[in-house]
Chains A and B, each alone.
Chain A
Amino acid sequence: MNDLELRLKGKVPGPDTGIEVRKSVCAICDPGTQCGLDLYVKDGEIIKVAGTKEAPHSHGTLCSKGAAMRQYVYSPDRVMTPLRRTGARGSGEFVPISWDEALDEIAMRLNAIKDEFGAESVMFYSGYAKWARAYLMRFALDFGSPNYLTESSTCATAMIMAQQLTYGMPAAADLKNTECVIFWSHNPSATKGLNLASINARIEAGCKVVVVDPRVTDIAQRADVFLQIRPGTDGALALAFGNVIVGEGLYDKEFVESWTRGFDEYRRLVEGMSPEKAAGICGVSASDIRAAARLYATSKPACIHFSAAPVVHHTNGVQNYRAVFCLIGLTGNIDIAGGNRMNPPSLVHQPGGFPTREREFTGAGRLADLPERIGSARFPVWARLSNEAQACDIPRQIETGSPYPLKALFALGLNHRMWPASQKFIEQVCKLDFIVDVDLFLTDSARYADIVLPACSSAERREIRCWPMGYVQFTQPAIEPVGESRSDVDILSDLSARLGLGDELLEAGIEACVEWMLEPSGLTVAELDKHPEGMWVPGAKPPAERKYLSGGFKTPSGKVEFVSSVLEEIGGAAVGAAGAPATGDAAAGDAVASAGAAGRAGYEPLPSYREPQMSPVSCPEMAKEYPLVLGLGARLPMFQHSRTFRLPWTRALSPDPHADVHPRDAAAAGIADGEWMRVVTPAGAVTVRAHVTLVTREGDVHLYHDWPQANANDLLDGDYLDPISGFPGYRSSLCRIEPADVRGEGACHD
């Protein structure tokens, strides 16, 4: 091999090899962890992917998903042209049509439906990508529909709600400056893995670590105290923390005195949850609970690293996380360096150290004049706290037509397996008159659409992203779009014009919109365009500490609310009025939480602990037939939901659907590691391989989700929801396992 051949083999950039490095961001997972991509482009084609060294968050590294970006971009499943359905919904039979034909047809159909049934009968939904959400919301409101919905209906919103109810807005863990961190259900080895280097650095420097997780994650093995709790009992554990902290006088008395609401009620609540009692509920030792609580309360500053979905994927999820977040107020670790910081977002949910008009851009203020959103009646707390509609109520409203009929769905990235009882969900969606799905791939959900529009990936489009350390990047396309695909925003912009919505700014395209949003920041598109690799924001400054000192917290009382004013108001129950509601009295849990209460069960103003609706404690009868706790949604590092299933590189790392089972449970069921087994619930069964592992608690089964041939979410009823957030109780229900007779499973993947 001569030198040039060797350089070509090594994919070494340079004029001789014709390989050029272009900068982009990875949006396979989203948001908040956007990693810088170095795309090695030769003859207009990406030939290699690496991390961008100067990227402020990822520092030149990537995870296994981002590393597979090339196969994501060039997947044979990419939709190359707009498609019109010719066969039955779901059949996957389509014919290619032109963009003009597709967009004109969509505009005509949507306007006709608006004329006949009202704009609210059209839903505007965003799965992934998240980057285009502000545009989609503006587009929906332009159209006149209040029904802008996102996959956050089962992802992050409930976690945000728990914080809003408690102290007004999310407060992120300040790992960099902390002395003690509680990872409360966060597994950085599988998700947001590129934070690991900084986490490791803090641990090396002596930062104390507490981990709360039903599974023995990597970070759990490095913890000073690891609490491997039974799924769905986070609230009991948090109340026991409160018991120790209050009982031993370790709380921040000054802060609690001045800045909290309902401390006396909270004190009484936690007095009912001794570590011994919580130990019985959670399955951990009382001494570990005490040790962890003391560590958190006595380290200054200390923070809680929460995560989007795991804790709120329980039917008692919001209250459980509220109990956790109350600890931040109790210890005064709110909005201080090294504690949990309130850092207002600049763009796409991320703070960037500069002000923008993104929220104004969405036009959310117009919601007040529109009909009620999907889910508003059923989930009034959601309606109070979120600008979105609650997507988990879609199937009910389609079926009942109440409070008004739904007729059309316009989706950016629909994945019906996001919903519990996914098959039933898609059956309801099929009753709609018109479905549009914009996606990169002809997914199983896209097959149900009447028109499919091809979207492009982050490598092929422009998008603006920012990072909390004061960095901003407005990317340039690294390559031409694959096929006839287009950026989601281009599609919205074009369609807006054809619908005649009269939105000049949106019609003017992404640069104009970005310029408009950035106006208060002093940043301009012209300046950003000089730095396609991103730039440090001039004058970006970290937010001040203790911003509550001027203006208070963004709660009705302006304080951290142990007793939530919103829940008090909406739940219609004063504290104590319902007769000491479920103060974590697990023994009473058998009367399932949703049963009995005349008012709104589960809406207690205090973060009371209730058993998950389905648990061995709440349903002992059912547990005789279904003795194991089923958790759906644990993560593997190479997959983000189903987004990298179709990539041969990531798929090769884990080819088959599987579930984690403890060795004793596997042995009891007569199942060996790697064998096929059935996971059975009252709602259904799936067949997956058994991964027999000590990482799982005895008694728990963790089933990996989103597999077309073994859809975990079909194992739940569509109404198995948290009454406050409408979130599915994915992480705790009941199941049994049994050997499966699978023939031909030896079919090798070569």
Chain B
Amino acid sequence: MDASLVSEPVVLLGFGAAAVNAACALRAEGYAGRITVVTDAGVDPYSPVLTSYYAGGRIERDACNPWADLDLAHVVDDVRAHARIESLDVAAHEVVLENGDRLRYSKLLVATGAHPIAPGFPQVEGYTPLVLRTMADAVRLRDALTSERCRDVLVSGTSMVALKVLEACLDRGKRVTLLGRSSHILRASAHPLVAQRFEEELVARGVELRLRQTVRGAEPADADARAEGGLLVTFGTGEAQRFDEVVLAQGVEPNLDFVPRGALDADRGLIVDRFMRTSAPDVFAAGDVAQALDLSTGAPRVIGLWQNAVQQGRCAGRAMAAELAGRLPTRPYPGSIPRNVIHVGDVLFASVGLPAEDGRRRIEVRESPSALRVLIYEERAGQDALVGFNMLVMRQVADRREFDSEVGARFREIMKSYLRQGGDGS
């Protein structure tokens, strides 16, 4: 590293789980230099996971900061709040902000998270559909859902976020229609059998499902009153339905606009090594922008999970501190596998690994009146190994108890399946 850079601060782009844990790890490893955070939000960090709970009224704003009792002011020296990043110059070790400020860094962590995408929803003049990612999004959604005017909501998307938005709407007593292009909800994480059962449970809770459908058009329901009268949405089937609000939750993509094309190796996110290092010297990435090792495929993949962001941020922080101290980093990021737990009301769903079927896999379905499990096995290293798991439980407390002890065990079993194969390579 250029000697002149050593005195520059460590700059963290973003102020979420990855950045906060990177900062804490830097300090824990003895880094005493300056840490500068650049965030497009306020000085208080928040957890995007909590925004749907805030919108649904389960928690208040101050509970959205999971580090409230952590004295971040003693960890981070400078928070550039409400700042937008214009560009990154990896050669000059410099971040340029929209306001013209130029921040030189000794080490840089890109942890800017992701934003929702909304492909294919028609533009409606005078109405911006709601989304849910940032605190600002959550405030807007909360306002919309607390409005007495709002009775019918269209949630477009079948992702985890879509279901959390749906739950927030149900919490607020709204009628919800869930729209999805795919034939089932949670396409990426739920086996069709489980998804279908989940869908039945949603319908039983009053949700209208429009799967395998698209939106053909949308217009203000009442031309004079504009959006006050809601939107008239026409579906691919030709049916039209009036909604007071529309929430788009079709997926996210990383916030990497400021990274010049070609500056960093990237695919869907920034490709990182086991210490969260990107292809450019002194630039690290963690969280939803980072494409780290997915053990289930052996290839780098963005797995947007809170716990991954925490552990990647910590790994990056440790590695930065080590390099700044002239040591080689230790304790690499071990990689992870896709997994998720979600609850909508009293329905609990968990997914681990790859729930999809293909010809080589054996599927086992275990069903009871109040629980459904799908286990997916594959031959790995000569053994029948569990590689995918879904569990859905409804109502019965006894099953929920099993859920809690089982999901962790399945997660570990599946991790083992993948690690075993890696280990048997010789």
Contacts and interface: CB of A to CB of B under 8 A. Distances in A.
B398 interface: yes
Interface string B390-410: 000000111000000000000
A10 interface: no
Contacts of A748: 396-398
7 contacts: A746-B396, A746-B398, A748-B396, A748-B397, A748-B398, A750-B397, A750-B398
Nearest to B400: A750
B279 to A, nearest CB: 48
A-B interface, 3 closest residue pairs, ranked by CB to CB distance from nearest: A750-B397, A748-B398, A748-B397
Nearest to B369: A746
Interface string A707-750: 00000000000000000000000000000000000000010101
A750 B395 CA distance: 12
Contacts of B396: 746, 748
A750 B400 CA distance: 12
B-side binding surface: helix, strand, loop or mixed?
A: helix
Contacts of A746: 396, 398
A750 B398 CA distance: 8
Interface in B180-199: none
A750 B346 CA distance: 15
A264 B398 CA distance: 65
Contacts, number: 7
Interface in A578-626: none
A748 B400 CA distance: 12
Contacts of B398: 746, 748, 750
A653 to B, nearest CB: 15
Interface residues of A, number: 3
Contacts of A750: 397-398
B153 to A, nearest CB: 33
B394 to A, nearest CB: 13
A748 B396 CA distance: 8
Nearest to A749: B398
Nearest to A750: B397
A746 B398 CA distance: 9
A349 to B, nearest CB: 44
B418 to A, nearest CB: 33
Nearest to B397: A750
A746 B396 CA distance: 10
A74 to B, nearest CB: 25
B398 to A, nearest CB: 4
B402 to A, nearest CB: 11
A748 B401 CA distance: 11
A748 B397 CA distance: 8
B313 to A, nearest CB: 29
B397 to A, nearest CB: 4
A748 B368 CA distance: 15
A269 B395 CA distance: 67
Interface string B359-397: 000000000000000000000000000000000000011
A750 B401 CA distance: 11
A311 B398 CA distance: 40
Contacts of B397: 748, 750
A46 B397 CA distance: 31
Nearest to B398: A748
A750 B396 CA distance: 10
A189 B128 CA distance: 69
A73 to B, nearest CB: 28
Interface in B251-300: none
A737 to B, nearest CB: 25
A55 B397 CA distance: 41
A125 to B, nearest CB: 42
B323 to A, nearest CB: 40
A624 B396 CA distance: 43
A748 B398 CA distance: 7
B401 to A, nearest CB: 9
A746 B397 CA distance: 11
A750 B397 CA distance: 7
Nearest to A747: B398
B371 to A, nearest CB: 12
Interface in A494-517: none
A24 to B, nearest CB: 36
Nearest to B370: A746
A180 to B, nearest CB: 44
Nearest to B399: A748
B213 to A, nearest CB: 38
A102 to B, nearest CB: 43
A409 B312 CA distance: 76
Nearest to A748: B398
Interface string B311-329: 0000000000000000000
